[in-house]
Amino acid sequence: MLFSGYKLPFLISFVFACTQSSLFAQDVNATLDTNTSVNQTNIKPGRILGRVFDADSGEALKDVTVVLEDQNRETKTDLEGRYRLSDIAPGDYSLLFFKENYQRTRVKAEGVVSGRSKLVDLPLNPDYSNLETLDAFEITAEDLAGSDIQLLALRQESMVVMDAMGSFDMSRLGAGNVADALTKMVGTSVQDGKYVVVRGLADRYSNATFNGVPIPSSDVYRNTPQLDLFPSLAVDSLSIKKSFSADMNPAFAGGSVDVVTKAYPEEFSLSVSSGFGYNEFSHGEGEYLTYEGGDSDWYGFGMDHRKIPDNLDAFTDNSANGGVFAGLNRNNVTQEKAAEINSFLKQLNKEFVPFKKSPQLDYNLGVEYGDFHELDDIALGTMFSVDFARKTKATPQKFYQDPLWGSGEINQISWNSYESQVGTESAEIGSFAQIVVIPNEENELGLILLYSHTGEKEASYGKMLKEGINGETVETPSGILPPKKSLKSNGKREI
């Protein structure tokens, strides 16, 4: 009994301690469950996106089935071979790609991060297992070396009708814009860093389209736009067609450039670029011809400073049309008429004398931005770029000689032959913006904005020639040639 009486309190204490431990464990588990639910609430879903293309030709494949095996979800690629799977929890997944006449391919998508995009591009290999194997055979023909048929066949085999470059090649070659990429393609070059020249034909023989739509140029003297306006960030592919087809605009003889933009950026991208240039004719001479102009000439906006007065027609009309000077003489000039004339004269630009100025280095600045935003109900893709360039150019000497063909002398030129100097300042601003709204995986709604501005300021100075470049005699303004100089030697007259 003494032994039992001693043991009972010990058992009660042990049971009480176990009960307290159990309650404490339940409180800890409840706290852990609460923290876990809070953390899961803060975790944003990720997404997997990419592009599927033919491994042999590089052509985008549409209607490729993409299966997310871990969640039994699937989608199909669009016309550009792109697919997108949203609302995916962070982790590692397995993707299955399959399409008729192509090999089934399984790819691991590891490291899907909360709120970010996992890019998985896949070259899909064609399936040749259903093709029949032919026995070896040999074709023989007569040697047509040097014939028209062989030359025609050689031209057909060696001539490239269409060249293309994708965004991957543009990135690999370091092309910052479309103009840079064109310099890496066969048969094309770029003039002034922005205008395309195909097969040696200037830009007047070429044209450019943007997603199949013709693009106008901000320069009235150019047929193609400034192709350095399109950053490589926004370009999905670039193609040059050098021959005609029924679905193309026939307004070209050299080639047609088509710029196809991306539907949306896959991930965040920010690029800042700058460049400097040196022109031997302007910087080498140490000065170029210019004039004061307006304050906004530096940006290429100076039309207000050169605005023509509104009442110009009234001052240029003759007396018969009832102009300001109709019937006006010094005896009937009134104060009102004189004030009107003085007001008109004050509106005229009085800059007639250019001067020479030391040039600065040519330079350009550019900013490119792109990102993909996953909102509550929709996804939003944004791309934006802005570029600014400023250049100076000088032509120290420019001669114009007009021969007097009717005089019968080849060493005589007209009195309106002259020597001139030309200085040019140009400023260019280009901007590209694209916004794509993705309400679901089957639909996209996009808006693309383009802006291009070119301003050019030119100053020139000319004077009459006293003598031709090769010593030709210059006619006087009255039309009478100056007397020829002559001397006599040994009874002969030499001119």
Choice between 353 and 66, residue whose per-residue pLDDT is larger: 66
Lowest average pLDDT, out of 70-79, 239-248, 449-458, goes to 239-248
The CA-atom distances, in angstroms, between 264 and each of 30, 178, 380, 434, 441 are: 44, 18, 8, 8, 13
Lowest average pLDDT, out of 12-16, 78-82, 337-341, goes to 12-16
Is pLDDT above 70 for 44?
yes
Please give the sequence-ordered ranges of beta strands (E in DSSP) within 221-361, or none if there are none: 235-241, 255-261, 269-277, 288-290, 355-357
Q: What is the reported pLDDT for 140?
A: 55
Facing residues of 66 across strands? 75, 97
Q: What is the reported pLDDT for 30?
A: 42
8 A C-beta contact, residue 240 and residue 163: yes
- Within 10 A of 3 (CB to CB), how many other CB atoms are there? 6
**Residue whose entry in the numeric block shows the structure tokens 């100053």:** 459
- Give 254-296 pLDDT, tens digit per residue: 788 888 888 778 778 888 888 888 877 666 667 888 888 888 8
Lowest average pLDDT, out of 140-144, 243-247, 456-460, goes to 140-144
User: Comparing C-alpha atoms, which of 353, 363, 379, 402 is closest to residue 84?
Assistant: 379
Mean per-residue pLDDT, 104-119:
88
Q: Say if residue 481 is exposed, middle or buried (CB neighbours under 10 Å; 0-12, 13-18, 19+).
A: middle
Supply angle C-alpha 224, 225, 227, rounded to 5: 110
- Give 141-169 pLDDT, tens digit per residue: 544 433 334 434 433 454 446 777 877 77
User: Comparing C-alpha atoms, which of 108, 457, 147 is closest to residue 294?
Assistant: 457
Is pLDDT above 60 for 13?
no
Q: What CATH fold (topology level) applies to the domain 159-262?
A: Ferric Hydroxamate Uptake Protein; Chain A, domain 1 (2.170.130)
Report how far residue 21's alpha carbon sits from residue 31's, in angstroms, rounded to the nearest whole number.
Answer: 15
Q: What is the reported pLDDT for 495?
A: 32
Facing residues of 347 across strands? none
Is pLDDT above 60 for 310?
yes
Domain 46-124 classification at class level: mainly beta
pLDDT-derived band at 452, boundaries 50, 70, 90: confident
User: Comparing C-alpha atoms, which of 396, 395, 394, 397 is closest to residue 465?
Assistant: 397
pLDDT-derived band at 388, boundaries 50, 70, 90: very high
8 A C-beta contact, residue 60 and residue 81: yes
Report how far residue 322's alpha carbon sits from residue 318's, in angstroms, rounded to the nearest whole number.
Answer: 7
User: Coil, helix or strand for 451?
Assistant: strand
Mean per-residue pLDDT, 374-382:
85
8 A C-beta contact, residue 391 and residue 426: yes
Give φ, ψ of 371 to 5 degrees.
Answer: -160, 160
Report how far residue 345's alpha carbon sits from residue 366's, in angstroms, rounded to the nearest whole number.
Answer: 42
Choice between 479 and 63, residue whose per-residue pLDDT is larger: 63
Of the chain, the end-to-end C-alpha distance in Å amounts to 159
CA 253 centroid distance within chain: 22
8 A C-beta contact, residue 247 and residue 338: no
**Residue whose entry in the numeric block shows the structure tokens 């307004």:** 251
Mean per-residue pLDDT, 19-44:
46
Residue 33: which H helix or E strand, with range?
helix 2-42
Is pLDDT above 60 for 491?
no
- Give 333-352 pLDDT, tens digit per residue: 888 888 888 888 888 777 77
pLDDT-derived band at 479, boundaries 50, 70, 90: low
Provide, rounded to the nearest whole percent, the portion of the chain with pLDDT above 90.
7
Q: What is the reported pLDDT for 67?
A: 93
Report how far residue 369's alpha carbon sits from residue 405's, in angstroms, rounded to the nearest whole number.
Answer: 62
8 A C-beta contact, residue 226 and residue 194: yes
Q: Token digits for 171?
A: 């990135």
Question: What's the chain's average pLDDT?
Answer: 75
- Give 183-226 pLDDT, tens digit per residue: 888 888 888 778 888 878 877 788 888 887 888 777 777 888 88
The CA-atom distances, in angstroms, between 419 and each of 98, 283, 463, 466 are: 72, 21, 6, 10
8 A C-beta contact, residue 255 and residue 240: yes
Provide, rounded to the nearest whole percent, the portion of the chain with pLDDT above 70.
77
Q: What is the reported pLDDT for 102?
A: 92
Q: Token digits for 62?
A: 């549409």
Lowest average pLDDT, out of 42-56, 143-157, 188-202, 306-320, goes to 143-157
Strands 73-76 and 206-210, by their bridges, are: unpaired
Q: Say if residue 204 is exposed, middle or buried (CB neighbours under 10 Å; 0-12, 13-18, 19+).
A: middle
**Domain boundaries of the chain, sorted by first residue:** 46-124, 159-262, 270-302+348-495
Residue count of the chain: 495
Mean per-residue pLDDT, 66-77:
89
